[in-house]
Amino acid sequence: MNNSLTQYTIGGVLGYSYGLDDLESDNGWKIRRVASPESNYQKLAAGRLDGVLEDLNVGKQTINEMELGGQLEPAEQILSEREYHVIISKASPRAQELLEVLNQGLKQLVDEGKADQYLEATLRGEYQ
């Protein structure tokens, strides 16, 4: 990444951190934030934004849901790799049980190759 990005208008969502704080503070890169991700996709399709910051899977699903597949597509460049986790309340009397069942179920889905199948189906818009 370099200062050439400052010439582009990039959309983001209010209250969301993209892990790109250094780009914003050190390079003067401005993210125009709105309350609704869908607003960014509408602006992008209308040519009012040059790009939208989004998780690849969420972006593909949003493009499918908004029927913008003919107009928008994700860039191949990854700006930031992030891990997502399920947060479980320690106050729940079933917290440990839930954690074990969740981990076991996810492992089984990965081992059987179903996790990738479900992800691909989601990206094709098969789940609503």
pLDDT of 57-100, one tens digit each?
889 889 988 999 899 998 888 877 777 788 899 899 999 999 99
Name the pTM for this structure.
Answer: 0.71
Q: What is the CATH number of the domain that holds 9?
A: 3.40.190.10
**Which of 13, 31, 65 finishes a domain?**
65
Q: Give the residue with greater pLDDT, 23 vs 74.
A: 74
Residue 90 exposure: Cα atoms within 13 Å on the Cβ side: 0
For residues 54 and 52, what is the distance between their CA atoms, to the nearest angstrom?
6
**Does residue 32 sit in helix, strand or coil?**
strand
Residue 74 inside a domain? The answer is: no
Residue 79 inside a domain? The answer is: no
In 18-92, alpha helices (H): 21-27, 37-45, 56-65
Query: Length of the chain, please?
Result: 128
For residues 43 and 15, what is the distance between their CA atoms, to the nearest angstrom?
19
